[in-house]
């Protein structure tokens, strides 16, 4: 059985058993103690070990992949062209995501008529979580001009220790450019070292992927056994609108891009990247998924190492299509809840702010919450109102992370297609055969 089928089975079993466990809590107080024991000593550690294995490869993999990718692209004098196309794809896809989210809220109006009692209960229940998230965010200086100035790290090792991905990426970009400018006899050793580091990290990821079916089961079980579907029922229309946005973006934006621009069968493409999508869904972290994203994109999809090493790590930090969509839906939803009218101009500003904030959002679970709070304040919507959706945010975070990471692979496929550089995989072979048949045709 293929690994993605095993992961899918783990996902379904985790959801099913988690919901059963959540329902059993209502009938047996002793079961709550038993469930706490299971999560603390079994499913919790399994999920955490899997996440730790992925996270420990992120920094060396990102640094080495970007540096090598930029160096190789720079030597071919294609860095400016590929970089421009990459950032343009990121911005366009992110803006489409936010606009789609705002459109769906205008159609379904999920925030109109919510029970004020439920509103108060939700704010009260999640106020502590909200305070913790905001304190963590403000302790790092919040979001401002320093967010961009701090991209240039004073100390690379401090940036690595703090998982400051933008700073690490910047240094890797500069290092890759610098290596491409020195004589080849001097750069060969550095290239071999960095390539070996990246390849070694991919092997370690392979070890982690073998654990993935059990870890996916554990992570999803922990979530569903705690929340069940009770809170989802209370915020069902909001959740429905968000997930409808995810599905529409996947089917109406990503699939046509793969079919019309990349010239590949969308169903075959998404079947091949299914392990990436499931890993992103269960971990809720673009950074934690990145090692899997690079491995599968290179080995299954046929993305060249230089393009994968350049586009995918950048995408994990900057390409947040699902996050932008979620932010747009959430801001307008909470505006409806509190009766704050937003004009067309205001909604355009929401799109622009969501795109900007999405770029600055860390690729870790729940990182978009403080960003949304900053947008809310700009429109006189109570910042603490974000607590209303915190109960379902973990589930929504899973969906938007999957959309974010899928967008990274789609962008890499666009760049690969426009550069005509597919590798020898299923897709690469198709591309090469098609090109050869076209050349041999009369």
pLDDT at 48 over 80: yes
What whole-number distance in Å separates Cα of residue 281 and Cα of residue 39? 20
Confidence of residue 433 (pLDDT cuts 50, 70, 90): very low
Q: Which residue has the higher pLDDT, 264 or 377?
A: 264
Instruction: Report the alpha-carbon distance of residue 68 to residue 45 in Å, rounded.
Output: 35
Q: Between 416 and 136, name the one with better pLDDT.
A: 416
Q: Which of 71-80, 304-313, 386-395, 403-412 has the highest mean pLDDT?
A: 403-412
SS3 for 284?
coil
Q: How far apart are CA 216 and CA 272, in angstroms?
A: 18
Q: Are 423 and 302 in contact (CB under 8 A)?
A: yes
Question: How far is Cα 268 from Cα 273, in angstroms, rounded to an integer?
Answer: 9
Output the pLDDT for position 73: 66
The whole-chain average pLDDT of the chain stands at 77
* Predicted confidence (pLDDT) per residue in 6-19, tens digit: 877 887 888 788 88
- Counting runs of H as helices and runs of E as strands, what totals does the chain give? 22, 0
For residue 237, the model assigns a pLDDT of 84
Distances in Å between the alpha carbon of 52 and those of 85, 285, 317?
33, 12, 19
First to last CA, the chain: 44
Q: What is the pLDDT of residue 434?
A: 46
- At 363 the pLDDT is 47
pLDDT at 343 over 70: yes
- CA angle (89, 92, 94) in 5-degree steps: 100
**Structure-model confidence comparison of residues 267 and 125, the more confident one:** 267
8 Å CB contact between 57 and 204: yes
Average pLDDT, stretch 140-147?
57
CA 86 to each of CA 78, 115, 237, 296: distance values in angstroms, whole numbers, following the listed order? 12, 44, 35, 19
Q: What is the model's pLDDT at position 259?
A: 93
* Fold of the domain spanning 3-440: 1.10.3860
The full 3-state SS of 112-160, as one line of letters, equals: CCCCHHHHHHHHHHCHHHHHHHHHHHHHCCCCCHHHHHCCCCCCHHHHH
Looking at residue 128, what is its pLDDT?
56
**What are the extents of the domains in the chain?**
3-440
Residue 439 has pLDDT above 50, yes or no: no
Return d(Cα 281, Cα 170) in angstroms, integer: 27
pLDDT at 260 over 90: yes
Measured in residues, the chain has a length of 442
Structure tokens at 235: 């915020």
CA-nearest of 72, 60, 90, 57 to 305 is 72
CA dihedral sign, ordered 153, 154, 156, 157: negative
Alpha helices in 228-300 (DSSP H): 230-234, 236-249, 255-256, 266-272, 274-283, 286-296
Q: Look at residue 293 and tell me whether its pLDDT is greater than 80.
A: yes
């Amino acid at each position: 059985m293929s690994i993605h089928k095993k992961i899918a089975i783990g996902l379904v079993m985790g959801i099913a058993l988690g919901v059963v466990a959540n329902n059993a809590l209502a009938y047996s107080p002793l079961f709550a103690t038993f469930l706490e024991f299971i999560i603390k000593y079994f499913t919790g550690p399994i999920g955490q070990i899997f996440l730790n294995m992925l996270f420990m490869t992120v920094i060396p993999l990102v640094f080495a992949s970007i540096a090598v990718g930029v160096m190789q692209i720079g030597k071919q004098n294609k860095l400016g062209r590929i970089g421009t196309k990459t950032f343009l794809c990121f911005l366009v896809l992110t803006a489409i995501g936010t606009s789609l989210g705002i459109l769906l809220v205008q159609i379904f109006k999920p925030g109109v008529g919510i029970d004020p009692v439920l509103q108060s209960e939700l704010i009260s229940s999640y106020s502590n979580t909200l305070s913790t998230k905001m304190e963590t965010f403000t302790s790092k200086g919040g979001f401002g001009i320093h967010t961009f100035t701090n991209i240039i790290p004073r100390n690379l090792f401090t940036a690595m220790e703090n998982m400051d991905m933008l700073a690490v990426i910047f240094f890797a970009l500069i290092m890759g450019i610098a290596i491409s400018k020195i004589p080849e006899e001097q750069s060969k050793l550095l290239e071999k070292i960095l390539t070996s580091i990246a390849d070694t990290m991919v092997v370690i990821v392979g070890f982690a992927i073998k654990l993935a079916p059990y870890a996916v089961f554990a992570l999803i079980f922990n979530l569903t056994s705690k929340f069940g579907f009770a809170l989802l029922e209370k915020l069902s229309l909001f959740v429905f609108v968000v997930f409808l946005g995810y599905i529409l973006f996947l089917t109406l934006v990503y699939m046509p891009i793969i079919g019309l621009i990349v010239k590949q069968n969308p169903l075959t493409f998404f079947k091949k990247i299914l392990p990436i999508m499931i890993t992103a869904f269960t971990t809720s972290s673009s950074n934690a998924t990145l090692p899997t994203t690079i491995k599968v994109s290179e080995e299954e999809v046929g993305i060249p190492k230089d393009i994968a090493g350049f586009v995918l790590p950048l995408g994990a930090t900057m390409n947040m299509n699902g996050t932008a969509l979620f932010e747009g839906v959430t801001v307008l939803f909470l505006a409806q809840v509190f009766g704050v009218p937003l004009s067309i101009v205001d909604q355009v500003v929401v799109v622009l702010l969501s795109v900007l904030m999405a770029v600055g959002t860390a690729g870790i679970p729940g990182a978009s919450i403080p960003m949304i709070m900053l947008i809310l304040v700009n429109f006189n919507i109570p910042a603490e109102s974000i607590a209303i959706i915190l109960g379902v945010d973990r589930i929504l975070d899973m969906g938007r992370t999957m959309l974010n990471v899928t967008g990274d692979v789609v962008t890499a496929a666009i760049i690969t297609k426009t550069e005509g550089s597919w590798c020898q995989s299923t897709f690469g072979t198709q591309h090469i055969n098609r090109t050869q048949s076209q050349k041999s045709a009369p």
